[in-house]
Structure 1
C-alpha cells in the first residue's frame, strides 16, 4: 500500500533535486579522468579542438572510429565554455542523465502516482551504476537518454497513435545513432517488434517502422555525418566503425572483454545498489510483468537487453544499463511488497562493511597477487585510505544499522536516506580514493612533463589521459637515450640506466640514460 507522505509535488521536487545533485554533479570535476574510456574520449575531443576537424576523430594522432560524433561535439562545446578540465568534459554526461531522470519521472507519472514516479526517478539518480556513467566523460549517459526517451514515446504511440510522437521517435533514434551507432536503432526496433507481436498487432509495428516522413526525418538527422565521414575516410570508416566496433563486438570477444552467459547477473546485483533487494523482489513477480500492456512492454525491454548482451561475444558492465530504465519502474511499484526494512537495507549494509575492511583486505592479498604491476600498486595503495576512510564507513554502517532497526521513520525516508548516503559514499570516498591510487599519478606525471616540456613516450602503458593532461601527442615507441618515458615500474628492468623524475603507486616517469635497453 502506497504512503501519502510523498504525494505532494513540493517535497518530491526538493528531494529529487538533491538526488540529482549528489548523484550527478557533486564532485563532478574533483577527480582525474579515468583510463581507458574517459581518457580516450577526452583526448579525441581535445585533438578535435586543436585540429579544428569536427568531422573525424583522432586519438594520439591516429584515426578513431570507436564511436560516432555527437558526444565529441557536446564535449567540445562544453570545453569551449568551461576550459579543458574534468568538469567540462563530464558535464554533457551529467546533463544527459538529468534529462533522462526527469523524463522517466514524467513517463511514470502518466500511468502511476507521484510517489511511484518519484521513487523510480530517485532510485535511478542514486543507483551505483547510473551514478558512475552520469559522471563519466563517455557516450553512455547520452545514449541511454536517447534510448529511454524513444522507448517512452514508442509505448505512448502504441496507446495514442499521435503522429507527432512517431516523428519524435525517429528523431531521437537518429540522435542515438549519432551517439553510439546501430545499438540505438536495435533496441527500440527489436523491443517494439516483440511487444506488438505479443499483442498480435504487427500491422501497427509496420506502420510505425515504415512511416515515410519518419524515415526521412531519421536520415536528415543521422545520415549527413555518416555520408561525410565515408566520403572523407572511405572504406576505412566502414571497416573500422561498422565491422570492427559494432559487428565484431557481438560476434567475438572484442579487446578481451569476454564473459560467461551469466556475466550480467552480478553486474545487476552490484550495479543497482543500494536497491538490490527491490530488484530481487521484482524479479520474483516476473510472471505478473505480463499482466498488462505497460508492464509487458517494460519486461520485454529489460529482458531483450539482458539476453541480447548476455549472448554477445563482447561483454562490458555498462551494456546492460540500456535495460535499467524499465527496471526502476518495476522496482518502484514493488516497494510496498517488501515485508522487512532490514532486508531492504541489507545489501548497502553489506557493501559498507566490505568497504570498511577493504584496506585491510588489500594489505592481506597484496603479497599473493601474481601480476607484477598490480602487486606494486597494491603495496602502496593502503596509504591513500587513511583514518578518514575507517571513520566514514564506520559511521555510515552505524547509520544504516539504525535505519534497519528503527520504527521511528517510515520506509520512504529510509530509502531516501540510504540513496543519498550511497551517492555521497561513492562520490566523496570511493571514487576519489580509487583515483588517488590509479589516476592521480598519471595526471601528476603528465603535468610535470608539460611544465618541464618533456616529449614523453608512453611505453607498454596505454593511458590516454596522460596525453590529455600533457596536451600534446606522445610517441608510443621504445624510448632512446636522453628521452623521457611514462611506464610501469615493473618495466624498468628493460633499461640499464635511467633517472626517475616521478614515481607513485608503481607509475614511473623516467629519463633514459645511455646503453639503456637490455637486449
Structure 2
C-alpha cells in the first residue's frame, strides 16, 4: 500500500477512500444518541423553523451549552438533505475528513510524504476520530480548526507574512464559534510554549500578532455580541460561567476522572495503533530535546542520509511543536474537574503524526528497533483480540459481569468474530518482525484497523437502535403529527431530548401527578412518554385518564418506556 502511492494525488485518493468508508457509510443509520445529539440536532431544527439564526433554543428555551457554528452547518445540511440523522451528523463527518487531510499535510511538511500518508491513515482508522465524525456535536469542528491552526502555523512560520497572521486569526475565530475560548486559549498557549522552547523571540514578540487577534475578533466575536444583545447577556453568563468556568472548577453532571484519565482515553481511542504509542512518544521526546551541539556532532543520524525516499532531516522543532501540543491539551483538561473522553480529541492528531514518523523511520531502517519490541507488539495485538471478544460476549449477556447491573445489548455476540482481526494482525506482526519486514508489518496493521472499524461503525448500529426508545415509540404510536394540534408530555425524563427531534415539536416536562392528570384531561389529543414503573405507581384515579398505546425499552434510563394517550381506541 505504502509504496504504490507516491504523489499527493494518490495519497489523497487513498485517504479519502479510507475516511469516506468509516466516516460516511450508513452515517444516518444509528438513531440519535441522547443527550448531546438529541439537543444539538433539535436546536438546529428549532433555529431553522423559527428563522432566528442568532439565539439557540431547545424545547423553546434558550440553550447556553454551545456556540452557534455547529447549528448553522446543521441548518445548511437540513436544507440540503432534509431533517434527519444523516444531515445532523454530516458537518461532523466533513470536519473529520478535513482533519485527516490536514494531518497528512502537517506530517508531510514536517517530515516527508510517506510520514504524511501514515499519519493520515492512522487518523482515518482511529476509533476516537471516527466516533467524532459520526456524532452530531461540535468536537469534530473544534478539532478540525485546531489542526488547521497548527498546520497554518507550521507552514507559514518561516516567512511570517501578514496574510499568515490573518489566517491564524480566522482559524481560531472559527474554533471560537465551534466550542468557545478553548479555540484560541489552548492553541496560543501551545504556540507560545513552542516559541519559548525554540527561543524564537522575534516571532513571539512580533507586533503582527495584533493582526491575528484583530481578525480573530472580527471572525469569532460578532455572533457573541449579537446573542448577548438578544438575550440580555443571559447566554454569555450561562455559557462562559457555567459551561466553561464551572466545568473547570467542579465536575458537572458527575463527570469525574482520575489524573491519568486522558492518557488512558488516548490509548483506548487509538486502538489498534496505540500499540505503538509509548514507543512513538519516547522517540518523539528524545527527538525534541536534541541540542544543536548534538546535531553538529552527528550524534543523531539524519534520515536524509539513510532513507532513499528522500525524507527531510529530522529537526527537533517539529517534535517540539507536537510535544507542546499534546502536553498543553492533556495537562489542561487533566487539571479541569469535569472530564469527558471527547476532550482529548485535539491531542489525537499530534499522536498520529508522531506514530507516523516513528513507523516511517522504522520501516526505512533508520531506527534500531530490537527484536523483542516486535514480539511485544504482537502480544499486545493478541491481548486486544481476546479482550475485544470477551468484552462483546459480556456486553451481550452471554457472560455475566456484576458491574453492568443487567445492562446488556443482545446482538453484540454476533460481532465477537472481530476479535480474530487483532489476533491475526498480532501473528502477522510476529512473522514480519521475525523476517525483518517492517513495511509489511505496518501495512498489515493498517488493513487490520480498517477491517476492524469499518463494519462496526457502518453496520453495527442496529444492536443499539433496538435499545433506544424515542424513535421507535414515535413511529409505533403515530405521535408524529405535524399538521395536528396535539400536546406531548414527558414524565420526569430530562435526559431524553431526541424525543423533540423525532416529534418535531416541543415537549411538556411533567414533574407531579396533578400536572400529568391535568394534561391527560385536555380536550386535545395527548401523548405522554413515561417509564412503565412510574405509570404503574401512579394512583388509579390518575391512570384512568389514559391508556397505553406503545412501549419500548430504553438503555439510557434502563427501563421500559410507555406512551400513554387520552384518545379512545
- Provide the C-alpha distance between the structure 2 equivalents of 1:452 and 1:146, rounded to a whole number of angstroms: 38
1:329 corresponding residue in structure 2: 353
| Contact 2:329–2:347 (CA under 8 A) maintained in structure 1 | yes
Q: 1:401 to 1:411 in 2, by over 3 A?
A: closer
- Provide the C-alpha distance between the structure 2 equivalents of 1:397 and 1:504, rounded to a whole number of angstroms: 36
- Provide the C-alpha distance between the structure 1 equivalents of 2:376 and 2:4, rounded to a whole number of angstroms: 22
Within 5 Å, give how 1:37-52 maps onto structure 2. 37-52=36-51
2:174 corresponding residue in structure 1: 175
1:211 corresponding residue in structure 2: 209
SS of 1:326 mapped into structure 2: helix
- Provide the C-alpha distance between the structure 1 equivalents of 2:2 and 2:24, rounded to a whole number of angstroms: 30
Within 5 Å, give how 1:239-254 maps onto structure 2. 239-254=237-252
Q: 1:160 to 1:151 in 2, by over 3 A?
A: same
1:411 corresponding residue in structure 2: 441
| Contact 1:31–1:435 (CA under 8 A) maintained in structure 2 | yes
- Provide the C-alpha distance between the structure 1 equivalents of 2:500 and 2:28, rounded to a whole number of angstroms: 18
| Contact 1:449–1:455 (CA under 8 A) maintained in structure 2 | no
| Contact 1:22–1:423 (CA under 8 A) maintained in structure 2 | no
Normalising by structure 1, report the TM-score.
0.89
1:357 corresponding residue in structure 2: 390
1:421 corresponding residue in structure 2: 451
Is residue 493 of structure 2 the alignment partner of residue 448 of structure 1?
no
- Residue in structure 2 matching 1:389, options 377, 393, 415: 415
Larger Rg: 2
- Provide the C-alpha distance between the structure 2 equivalents of 1:35 and 1:423, rounded to a whole number of angstroms: 23
- Give the drift of 1:66: 1.0
1:486 corresponding residue in structure 2: 529
SS of 2:14 mapped into structure 1: helix
Within 5 Å, give how 1:16-415 maps onto structure 2. 16-207=15-206, 211-285=209-283, 286-291=285-290, 292-335=316-359, 336=362, 339=371, 341=374, 343-344=376-377, 346-347=379-380, 349-358=382-391, 360-362=393-395, 363=397, 368=402, 375=406, 377-378=407-408, 381-382=409-410, 384-385=411-412, 388-390=414-416, 392-393=417-418, 396=421, 399-400=424-425, 402-407=427-432, 410-415=440-445
SS of 1:56 mapped into structure 2: coil
- Give the drift of 1:507: 3.1
2:500 corresponding residue in structure 1: 467
- Provide the C-alpha distance between the structure 2 equivalents of 1:14 and 1:49, rounded to a whole number of angstroms: 35
SS of 1:503 mapped into structure 2: strand
- Give the drift of 1:141: 0.6
Q: Over aligned residue pairs, what C-alpha RMSD do you find?
A: 2.8
- Give the drift of 1:90: 0.7
Q: 1:420 to 1:364 in 2, by over 3 A?
A: closer
Q: 1:68 to 1:81 in 2, by over 3 A?
A: same
- Provide the C-alpha distance between the structure 2 equivalents of 1:397 and 1:216, rounded to a whole number of angstroms: 50
| Contact 2:550–2:564 (CA under 8 A) maintained in structure 1 | no
> Number of aligned pairs?
501
User: Gaps (5+ residues) in structure 1?
Assistant: 514-519
| Contact 2:125–2:449 (CA under 8 A) maintained in structure 1 | yes
SS of 1:245 mapped into structure 2: helix
| Contact 1:263–1:310 (CA under 8 A) maintained in structure 2 | yes
Q: 1:84 to 1:3 in 2, by over 3 A?
A: closer
| Contact 2:549–2:565 (CA under 8 A) maintained in structure 1 | no
- Provide the C-alpha distance between the structure 1 equivalents of 2:233 and 2:220, rounded to a whole number of angstroms: 19
- Provide the C-alpha distance between the structure 2 equivalents of 1:12 and 1:403, rounded to a whole number of angstroms: 25
SS of 1:160 mapped into structure 2: coil
2:551 corresponding residue in structure 1: 503
2:294 corresponding residue in structure 1: none
